[in-house]
Chains A and B, each alone.
Chain A
Amino acid sequence: MDARSIAKSLHPLEVKVLLHYGPQEDLDAGRLIHDLGYKEGQANQAFSWLSAKALATEAGRSARIVYELTPFGRQAAVSGTAEERILKHLADTGPARLPDIVLALGLEQKDVGSAFGQLSKEGALSLDGEKRAVLDPTWFVTAHANGKKPRLAIVHDLIAKAAASADGIIDDAELNAAGKSAMAGIAKKRGAGDSVFRTADREIVTYRLSLSTMDVRIALQAEGLTGDELGPVTSDILARRSWEGATFRPYNVKSPTARLMPGRRNPYVEFLESVKDKLVSLGFEEFDGGLVETEFWNSDALFMPQFHSARDIHDVYHLADPVKAKSIEEPYLSRVATAHETGGESGSRGWNYSFDKEFTKRLILRSQGTVLSARQLPTAKVPGKYFGIARCFRYDRVDATHLSDFYQTEGIVIGEDVNLRTLLGFLEMFAVEVAGAKEVKYVPGYFPFTEPSIEVHIKHPVLGWFELGGSGIFRPEVTESLGVKAPVLAWGIGIDRMALMALGLNDLRELFSPDLENVRYRRAKL
Chain B
Amino acid sequence: MPKIEVNEGLFFSLLGRRMERAELDLALQSAKAELDEWDTGTGGAGSAASDDGASARVIKIELNDTNRPDLWSTAGLARQLRLKDGATRPNYPFFSRQGEVQAASRRVIVEESVGSVRPFLAGFCVSGRGIDEAFLKDMIQTQEKLAWNFGRKRRSISMGIYRSAKIQWPVLYRAVEPRSVRFVPLQETREMDLLQILAEHPKGREYASILEGEPLHPLLLDSAGDVLSYPPIINSADLGAVQVGDTELFIELTGTDLPSVTLASSIVACDFADLGWKIEPVMVEYPWTTPFGRSVVFPWYFQKPLGIEAGRASRLLGKSLNVQQVALALSVMGSSVDIHGQYVSAWPAEYRNDFLHQVDLIEDIMIGVGMEYFTPERPRDFTIGRLTPIELLSRKAKGLLVGLGYQEMIYNYLGSGKDYLEKMGIDGTKVIRVANPMTENYEYVRNSPMPGLLGTESISSKAAYPHRIFEVGKVAFRDDGQNYGVSTRQYLGALSVHADSDFNEVSSQVATLLFYLNREFSVEEPVAGAEDPRFIPGRQAIMMYRGTAIGVYGEVHPRVLSAWGIGLPAAAVELDLDLLLA
Contacts and interface: CB of A to CB of B under 8 A. Distances in A.
B86 interface: no
Nearest to B480: A322
Given A265-B398, A284-B385, A291-B413, 15 more contacts: A259-B464, A266-B410, A280-B386, A290-B487, A290-B488, A291-B476, A293-B484, A322-B486, A326-B485, A419-B317, A452-B366, A475-B357, A512-B410, A516-B456, A517-B462
Interface in A359-394: 363, 365, 381, 383-385, 391, 393
A502 B316 CA distance: 37
A266 B395 CA distance: 12
Contact of B315 (A261, A313, A419, A444): A419
B316 A263 contact: no
A350 interface: yes
Contacts of B460: 515-517
* 5 closest A-B pairs by CB: A421-B318, A419-B318, A383-B381, A322-B485, A290-B488
16 contacts: A261-B405, A263-B402, A266-B409, A288-B390, A290-B486, A292-B476, A292-B488, A318-B434, A348-B357, A349-B304, A421-B374, A427-B376, A446-B67, A452-B362, A517-B462, A519-B409
Given A292-B488, A327-B483, A425 B358 contact: no
Nearest to B465: A261
Nearest to A388: B388
A386 B18 CA distance: 46
Interface centre among A268, A290, A384 (most CB of B within 10 A): A290
B384 interface: yes
B518 interface: no
B359 A476 contact: yes
A264 B405 CA distance: 7
A477 B316 contact: no
Interface string A326-351: 11000000000000000100111111
B414 A405 contact: yes
A424 B366 CA distance: 13
A429 to B, nearest CB: 8
B162 interface: no
B440 interface: no
Contacts of A385: 381, 383, 385
Interface centre among A259, A289, A421, A424 (most CB of B within 10 A): A421
A516 B111 CA distance: 70
A322 B408 contact: no
A273 interface: yes
A319 B432 contact: yes
Nearest to B367: A444
Contacts of A350: 356
Contact of A404 (B152, B387, B442): B442
B484 A363 contact: yes
A327 to B, nearest CB: 6
Contact of B30 (A348, A415, A444): A444
Nearest to B357: A348
Contacts of B456: 514-516
Contacts of A421: 317-319, 374-377
Contacts of B405: 261-263
A254 to B, nearest CB: 24
Nearest to B381: A383
B127 interface: no
A381 B383 CA distance: 10
Interface stretch (A72-80, A90-98, A395-403): A395-403
A326 B385 contact: no
Interface string B350-384: 00000011111011001100010011111111111
A514 B456 CA distance: 5
Given A290-B488, A383-B383, A261 B464 contact: yes
A442 interface: yes
Contacts of A515: 456, 459-460
B29 A443 contact: yes
B434 A265 contact: no
B64 interface: yes
Interface residues of A, number: 102
B565 to A, nearest CB: 14
Interface in A427-453: 427-429, 440, 442-446, 448, 451-453
Contact of A284 (B383, B412, B466, B474): B383
Interface in A505-526: 511-512, 514-517, 519-520
B32 interface: yes
A343 B386 CA distance: 35
A314 interface: yes
Interface in A267-309: 268-269, 273, 276, 279-294, 307-309
Given A280-B385, A286-B391, A425 B379 contact: yes
Interface of B: 29-30, 32, 64-67, 149, 152, 156, 259, 304, 315-319, 356-360, 362-363, 366-367, 371, 374-388, 390-391, 395, 398, 401-414, 432-438, 441-442, 445, 452, 455-457, 459-460, 462-464, 466-469, 474, 476, 478, 483-488
Contacts of A448: 66
A424 B402 contact: no
Contacts, number: 273
A385 B348 CA distance: 36
Contacts of B152: 307, 309
Contacts of B434: 317-320, 365
B414 A393 contact: yes
A418 interface: yes
A456 B388 CA distance: 27
Nearest to B490: A288
A266 to B, nearest CB: 4
A325 interface: yes
B380 A280 contact: no
A452 B379 contact: no
Nearest to A349: B356
Contacts of B378: 422, 425, 429
Interface string A125-151: 000000000000000000000000000
A282 B375 contact: no
Contact of B484 (A261, A294, A381, A422): A294
A369 B205 CA distance: 37
A473 interface: yes
A247 B405 CA distance: 37
Contacts of A323: 435
A426 to B, nearest CB: 6
Nearest to A350: B356
Contact of A263 (B29, B382, B403, B485): B403
Nearest to B406: A263
Given A268-B410, A422-B318, A444-B32, A325 B483 contact: yes
B283 to A, nearest CB: 25
A153 interface: no
B407 A519 contact: yes
Contact of A473 (B304, B316, B371): B316
Contact of A347 (B64, B358, B379): B358
B404 A263 contact: yes
A152 interface: no
A348 B356 contact: yes
A32 B469 CA distance: 51
A322 B477 CA distance: 11
A461 to B, nearest CB: 20
A321 interface: yes
B380 A451 contact: no
Nearest to B363: A452
Interface centre among A268, A281, A520 (most CB of B within 10 A): A520
A492 interface: no
Contacts of A346: 357
A381 B445 CA distance: 33
Contacts of B452: 514
Contacts of A396: 438
B119 to A, nearest CB: 15
A29 interface: no
B459 A291 contact: no
Contacts of A269: 398, 408, 410
